[in-house]
Structure formats: structure tokens, C-alpha cells
Amino acid sequence: MRPCFIFVFAWLAFLQASEAEDARKGGIGPEVLPPGALAPTADLPNDEALAARREAGGTVSPKIVPRKEKGYGLAEFSQFLSFGETGTILPKGSVLYYPDAHSIRLISGASKTMLSWPDFLTANRSWLATHEVSLAQVKGEAPISESDRASFKAGGKMVVATLRNNPVTVLIKPSTTPSKP
């Protein structure tokens, strides 16, 4: 019985070897593609064909609406400081005090060369100072004291509010609370 199994296994091995020599009929590659095949996007309609289909179907052409500027970008919520050709960006409401002589350093747009806040502060320490504020002052719950405001005027420098050494907007509490309708 054993010689029979050996004979069967030898015959199967011979068949597999002979099949491996034949060229493979299926698979992938350029030889398998049909002749004259086009790119997958060759049969896509262009804009004119889509417009013709839309009109033939009886649908209304879309109305072109011009884009409206929302005014809620980074520049609208920022204050730019400049000195020469360098500048930096701060959150709006972070400048607590500036003398009239330094008002030209508050600009409406970006400068040629923008620096990070720490680099700009280091380069302009002669006319720029920071004042660390509390979280309550940032929220507008506690005002900045009059003694601090007097020291800003006496220093003669532009003062920027910071929280953990980063510029921050300081909200001003309204003097009157709005009435409910």
C-alpha cells in the first residue's frame, strides 16, 4: 500500500511542475488589460456636458452668490505691534496703556517680518513692558488698580497684559448692567 501512495504523490508533484511551466492566464499588469484602454477619468463629463444634462432634466441653474467677508478672521481679533520692519501679533485688548509717542507702533496689519512674542519683547524692552494680570482681571471681574495705571503712566512704556508670560485680552466690565427686556 505504501508504494501506491508514493506513486500518487510523485504523480501529483509532476503535474504541479508541468502546470508551473505554462504561462499564467490571469493576474495583474499591463499585459492583462484590454487593448485601447483609456484612463478612468476619460469618460467623465466636463462642465458643459453637466450643464446640458441639468437643463435637459429641467432643473434650475444654481445661482452664483458672491462670497461675503465675515470679518471674523485672525486679523480682526488681533492687534499688531511694529518697530521698524519687524512686528508681532497680539490679541485685541491686550495693550493696557500706550503713551502718545508710541501710538504709531500700533498698526492695523502685519509687518514685513513677523516675530514671535518672546523675540519681539526681548528686542524691544526699551519701549515695551508687560504687566501680569490675574484670571479675574482677564474675565473683567476685577479691575486693574489705579496704582498700577499710575505706574504705567510714570514708566512711559507701552504696557501689554500677560497671563503666564503670554499676551492676553483683558475684558472691561461694563459700568452699567444691561436691563432685561
The owner of cell 429641467 is 58
pLDDT for residue 20 is more than 60: no
Residue 84 carries which side chain, given as an amino acid letter? G
Question: How many angstroms separate the CA atoms of 171 and 181, rounded?
Answer: 24
Domain boundaries, given as residue ranges, for the chain? 75-167
Give 161's strand partners.
131
Q: What is the mean pLDDT of the chain?
A: 83
Give 13's strand partners.
none
pLDDT for residue 119 is more than 70: yes
Question: How many angstroms separate the CA atoms of 34 and 55, rounded?
Answer: 36
Reported as half-sphere exposure (CB side, CA atoms, 13 A), residue 72 has a value of 2
DSSP annotation of 105 reads G
pTM (2 d.p.): 0.58
pLDDT for residue 175 is more than 80: no
More confident residue, 21 or 146: 146
More confident residue, 164 or 14: 164
SS3 of residue 75 by DSSP: coil
65-99: burial string, b at 16+ Cβ within 10 Å, e else: eeeeeeeeeeeeebbbbbbeebbbbbbebbbbbbe
pLDDT for residue 179 is more than 70: no
For residue 91, the model assigns a pLDDT of 94
Say what percent of the chain tops pLDDT 90.
43
For residue 44, the model assigns a pLDDT of 85
Local confidence band at 39 (pLDDT 50, 70, 90 cut-offs): confident
More confident residue, 38 or 121: 121
